[in-house]
Structure 1
């Protein structure tokens, strides 16, 4: 066996994992996902912009293949995946993604409908936009720190010397480890105005800044409908949400959608609306068309079926149910000047950015001052040489070490002596002396100016202000996203979204339900599964629910517009409802909420109830009729008018007629006695209620017994009339086995 190696370190797994994960998360937070407050860029974006400036791809240069740029970024500064890098580049070129794009692209860079539909980088060409110069123009002027690139062969800027608060102007999104950022874009003119206000009044409260910055400004003309106080709270805390709503107008009775919320795809939106139309949830819309073109980038046309359609109500419903209205999270998390991530409020962001800007301008001025002083120093030496030109020439011609001799002879510095020795012969002309004196005077003037600005806070602030004004004038534009006060959108009631059609709902013995269009449908023509058959049918509208009564006296309700067609064999009601074990579905009921119906048990008890009392959301239904021992539910009778009469027939062939109004109005229960049935007959099942019907005023009653029918007219009805809870009178022979009672 070889010698055991001992050149390793032992660490508890817990410590190693903790440190490794912390290192990784700090890398993701600081070097990948969060933007820096100074230039508002993430490292990959900064490297793309810097690499393009190094390639000379300014706004005036010729376009260059994007693959060339991506290659430079990866090879020199960002050793990561090319597709991720190109995607970051594409985002900065899309004018529908960035409020102020940094890259000017040629070719297919995606569309608002599908931002990821851009061409491969070998096809597209790009250069920087004019706006990108605000990030780069002061780069070579000693304004920022530089660090080694990944392999130490090149230098790259740690941050870019932004002349504008790009972080707020373009916003950004990012997901790090344990934190995320969502900063919305803003309007350049508004943000510059707030910065200038802060420079004038460093103690200005947030309220004054919000007079300039009204709210976010997305690269779309859709409306921001977040209330002002919520926007203020958002800027006060650095977090919250912004709600955007599509713009629409009416044209020849059609709805024209002209602007969509930020990053909402028109094609996806059409799918959402079409899905509702297919599901028959938008019966008032007849057609949907996309008429977008170059002149009208967004033009979606919704065609209502009727001129009477309330367009605002339909749009309000679509705002709730589709992406026509969208909320955006706001979380202003960024890396501050101290290098730490933090969620900052609006005032904090502007104050900190202005501190960065002030320092950048100060560094730029110092850098320039150093250059001016160095040049003045050189010019001073050159003037000495011109005053003693013959002697200088002699020293250079005859001395072995002319530099040292000149330094000693004229009392000049090494730099000045070097500059004299570097002089070309043509610069010894007489006019050169005048030029040097002119340059010296100009530089002297500039030096005084620079020193004055560096020595005065007020002058420095004035310079920053004038530069902000200049850039706002040059790159600024009008607000695109109007901030409008709107009422909250409301979805339409389900009934309003259903076509109001007549239906006949059919229930089979085994509990299968279906619906046929129309009220004159022949239920006899339906086919059933083997061993199944017709049980009950009811006429209703597609906007009304249907109520199902079971053998235990419970009632259930279900929608009718989504029942399967009568051409099919239906669906089992148990899929929609959840009845107790052992119960059987018996009867169907339907009607308007204020219609009345009469419910009874075979024991001869009953009551009146409004249809609306039958409605129940619970799948398990609710108890409605209390059934005395051994009794069952009798087929309900609908009450057309409270002046109707009620006819009740029993198994023994007795008939009693009395006013419906004599029965109580209950929501549920056993009810009052309808007809007298001896207890011994009930318990022995020798007598019970078998049929009921309501007779309108001056109406007739038809008694069905087998194939025979007996019609009772006014005098006969009076003969069988009595008080509620009487025994009733016997029907004539041949009609004592009653199969049904019907109003004639």
Structure 2
């Protein structure tokens, strides 16, 4: 006994055994579980479900039966795996939002687009095959495919189904195997059929020609395909890529109505994402959300803007970038080829190889029919001999113990013909039967010639295949659902864009305390300040604009205007959020959009024009914007507004110069150019940009003087000139401001 066991066992290194076991398992999963076959586009479990339903008589015109009945047949006869996995595969083939052309007509709850796995248990649901499933099954009993024993050898099952259309592209499929996966997007039947027929008629057609007929995938849920034609062509050329999908929407009564979602996107999940942004106060321009989806409108999501001033296109662009309203669908055209090996194939390879499969299928079908016709003609020939010699045939049958060999010898017929004669019923011995036989012979003879001619001519065979594909396209095809629209990449709104745009006045004190008051009608100098502190400057703008702070060393800092403390209090010190260098003090502020221009100048009389975006800095330590000398200081920046702007520069001794803004250089940072000619020890105390129609207000102590545009003529001069002296009483100027800009 020990000797016998020793001979039956085999010793192997663990490494070799483990490697072989893993590879065997991997190939099993790849070939018998996860990847579709190029011929019928089905995985084994899908093929077994469809075949089992056809065997149960569940055609499109029959009455549906419980899904549990089908699942029981599938796992009991062909697929010995879990019933839940089998049922889930069945459910997917019945979901119109998962399959472009469903194979199963499900009755009951088979899941929803929001929750595809919310289907009822199989004991509650019923199903039958769809009309489209006939493209996979109608030729099954005509010698078209190879058969194999089922798992226990008691039944036979088809290795593949005789698909009349490239189902591998029409419904696509996903699967994860060991070391490889497949993601084939669905396509439009009419387009695939047209491309297939074109390739059949023009075997040398290149990929560009096929893309003319078949420009992109076509998803069951519609939406827009926003990938460029070049990106999709690259996908078809390599078998790998990404298809970008975007929801479609319309505007109805001032509300945004989303009527189509990307493939495998849940509307409920999208609403949750939008609601989450609203709860986090990151979407202030949206006031309400509604889901009005029903049977007539499978997708109808309503977004209600807060007002009719909301830019709906910008809002949707933000939602496309931040929610599931836009997504990328991966494409990996990995299929099991006719050689039985899995491989990623390009579009032309898939269509070419499927045409080989279809040609073989049609050839086998025609040969099967031709053999049947020849067999029937052979029998009819024997029956006709019998009718012409009916009396003698009856005599032989009545008198001979073994009539078959006697008839074969007497009439020179074969055993098959003799059996057919012996199987005749008495009622078929009428004279009329002879005419029926001759008529049937003529019909079958004509069919035989047609079949032989088709089998003998590749041109006629191709014409037959093309005609059948076109007929199925007319019968089962429909219009494209996913529109092809090239779009720019969606951009999420910045934090400033998402903030409510409210008028604010930002006030800065001399000791560097800052606050913001709502509105522009604010008496900034009249606000209360801390003991020992006083008003320095203010700037009016919007709550979502950029706020720039300048210190005496010429460094610039950026703050969020909407986060500033209210003017009801005395504000907060800038040193709490910014880190200026030792000895630096804050001298001014400016507020506006990133494109807003402003004038930066120093007490040394140098300056330039820049934008707030150029000098903005998110660093607490700021950035060097204006070059300032050791004994000089930066001045309060002045934003540029209005038409034909000019710049007014005033010294502490009352020397005023007004010059066109265009004479100043535009820089991102630096020292700038000389604005006004100064005497030794003289310094500039203020610079003000204003429009040609605005009034300039000059502040000297408690006195102020207003200069209209005409009044400023005597003070106008070229850059770096001396300017003119202000009247007596304005020799100690502290600031400039604008009235009526």
Deviation at 1:3, TM superposition (A): 10
Deviations 1:297-346, CA, capped at 9 Å, x for gaps: 33333334444444334333433333333332222221111112222222
The answer to whether residue 586 in structure 2 is matched with residue 591 in structure 1 is: no
Secondary structure of the residue that 1:248 maps to in structure 2?
strand
Partner residue in 2 for 1:367? 368
How many angstroms apart in 2 are the aligned matches of 1:257 and 1:494? Answer: 25
Residues 68 and 200 (structure 1 numbering): CA distance in 2 closer, same or farther, change over 3 Å? same
Cα deviation for residue 404 of structure 1 reads: 3.5
1:643 aligned counterpart, secondary structure: strand
| Contact 1:181 1:333 (8 Å CA) reproduced | yes
Q: Partner of 1:116 in structure 2?
A: 117
Asked if structure 2 preserves the Cα contact closer than 8 Å seen for 1:598 and 1:638, the reply is: no
Go from structure 1 to structure 2 and tell me whether the alpha carbon gap of 1:605 and 1:697 turns closer, same or farther (over 3 Å shift): closer
Q: Kindly tell me: are residues 488 and 424 of structure 1, through their superposed partners in 2, closer, same or farther at Cα, counting changes over 3 Å?
A: same
Greater mean alpha carbon deviation, residues 10-19 or residues 355-364: 10-19
Deviates more, 1:75-84 or 1:36-45: 75-84
In the alignment, which residue of structure 2 is the partner of 1:31?
Answer: 32
Structure 2 residue aligned with 1:261: 262
How far apart are the structure 2 equivalents of 1:568 and 1:445?
104
Q: For the Cα contact (< 8 Å) 2:551–2:588, is it kept in 1? A: no
- In 2, the alpha carbon distance for the partners of 1:85 and 1:583 equals 77
- Closer/same/farther in 2, CA of residues 487 and 548 from structure 1, 3 Å limit: closer
Cα distance change, pair 537–363 in 1 and its aligned pair in 2 (3 A): farther
Once residues 195 and 86 of structure 1 are traced to their aligned partners in structure 2, the CA distance between those partners, rounded to angstroms, is 33
Alpha-carbon deviations, 1:331-375, whole Å to 9, x = none?
Answer: 222111111222222222222111111110110111112222222
Q: Give the secondary structure class of the aligned counterpart of 2:162.
A: coil
User: 1:12 & 1:202 partners in 2: Cα distance?
Assistant: 51
Aligned equivalent of 1:11? 12
Match of 1:65 in 2: 66
In the alignment, structure 1 residue 413 sits paired with structure 2 residue 418: no
The 8 Å contact of residues 550 and 583 in structure 1, kept in 2 or not, is answered as no
1:244 aligns to what? 245
Q: CA deviation at 1:180?
A: 2.4
Q: 2:514 and 2:354 mapped to 1: Cα distance?
A: 69
Once the two structures are superposed, what CA deviation does each residue of 1:193-241 show, in whole Å capped at 9, x if it has no partner? 2222233322233333333223222223423233333333333333333
The answer to whether the 8 A contact 2:246-2:325 is kept is yes
Q: 1:676-735, CA deviations, whole angstroms, 9 ceiling, x for partnerless residues?
A: 99xxxxxxxxxxx9xx99999664455xxxxxxxx5778xxxxxxxxxxxxxxxxxxxxx
- How far does residue 47 in structure 1 lie from its aligned partner after superposition? 1.1
What is the TM-score when the length of structure 2 is the normalising length?
0.78
Instruction: State the Cα distance separating 1:58 from its structure 2 match.
Output: 0.2
How many residue pairs are counted as aligned between the two chains? 688
C-alpha separation in 2, matches of 1:330 and 1:72: 33
Give how far 1:624 is off: 6.3
Partner secondary structure for residue 381 of structure 2: helix
More displaced stretch, 401-410 vs 553-562: 553-562
Partner Cα separation in structure 1 for residue 566 and residue 44 of structure 2: 61
Output the CA distance in 2 between the equivalents of 1:411 and 1:513: 120
User: Where do 5+ consecutive residues of structure 1 fail to align?
Assistant: 527-532, 648-655, 678-688, 703-710, 715-740
| Alignment TM-score, normalising by the size of structure 1 | 0.77
Q: Give distance in 2, aligned partners of 1:450 and 1:403.
A: 33
Q: In 2 relative to 1, CA 551–120 (structure 1 residues): closer, same or farther, beyond 3 Å? A: farther
**In 2, Cα distance between equivalents of 1:371 and 1:107:** 43
Determine if contact 1:276/1:282 at 8 Å carries over to the other structure.
yes
Compute the RMSD of aligned alpha carbons. 4.9
1:482 pairs with 2:487: no
Structure 2 contact 597–609 (Cα < 8 Å) conserved? no
Shift of 1:138: 0.5
- 1:345 is the counterpart of 2:346: yes
Residues 557 and 615 of structure 1 are in contact (CA less than 8 Å); yes or no, is this contact kept in structure 2? Answer: yes
CA shift, 1:62, in A, is 0.5
d(CA) in 2 for partners of 1:184, 1:229: 17
Shift of the 516–415 alpha-carbon distance from structure 1 to 2, 3 Å rule, reads farther
1:415 and 1:497 mapped to 2: Cα distance?
A: 87
- Measure, in 1, the Cα distance between the counterparts of 2:570 and 2:365: 84
Q: How does 1:568-717 map to 2 (within 5 A)?
A: 589-592=589-592, 593-596=596-599, 612=612, 614-618=615-619, 621-623=622-624, 643=648, 645=650, 667=669, 699-701=698-700, 711=702
Q: Secondary structure at the match of 2:558?
A: strand
The CA deviation string for residues 370-414 of structure 1, in whole angstroms up to 9 with x for no partner, is 222222222333333334444444444444433344334443333
Contact 1:646 1:660 survives alignment (8 Å): no
Structure-2 residue corresponding to 1:41 = 42
Does the 8 Å contact 2:249/2:258 carry over to 1?
yes
SS of the aligned residue for 2:213 comes to coil
Matched with 2:150 is 149
Matches within 5 A, 1:503-542: 541-542=542-543
- Greater displacement, 42-51 / 27-36: 27-36
Question: Contact 1:599/1:637 (CA < 8 Å) preserved in 2?
Answer: no
Q: Distance in 1 between matches of 2:411 and 2:513?
A: 116
Cα distance, 1:360–1:4 mapped onto 2, change above 3 Å: closer
**1:160 CA displacement:** 0.3
Shift of 1:581: 11
1:172 aligns with 2:177: no
Which residue of structure 1 lines up, in the alignment, with residue 730 of structure 2? none
Q: Give the CA deviation at 1:490.
A: 4.4
The aligned runs of 1:62-211 (5 Å cut-off) are 62-211=63-212
Q: 1:282 to 1:675 in 2, by over 3 A?
A: farther
Is contact 2:602-2:628 (8 Å) kept? no
- Within 1, Cα distance between the matches of 2:28 and 2:576? 54
Structure 2 counterpart SS, 1:211:
helix
Question: Aligned equivalents of 2:623 and 2:599: distance in 1?
Answer: 18
TM superposition shift of 1:275: 3.3
Would you say 1:54 and 2:55 are equivalent positions? yes
* Aligned partners of 1:605 and 1:670 also within 8 Å: no
Distance 1:68 1:479 in 2: 35
Once the two structures are TM-superposed, the CA of residue 8 in structure 1 deviates from its matched residue by: 3.8
Are residue 467 (structure 1) and residue 468 (structure 2) matched? yes
Question: How far does residue 64 in structure 1 lie from its aligned partner after superposition?
Answer: 0.9
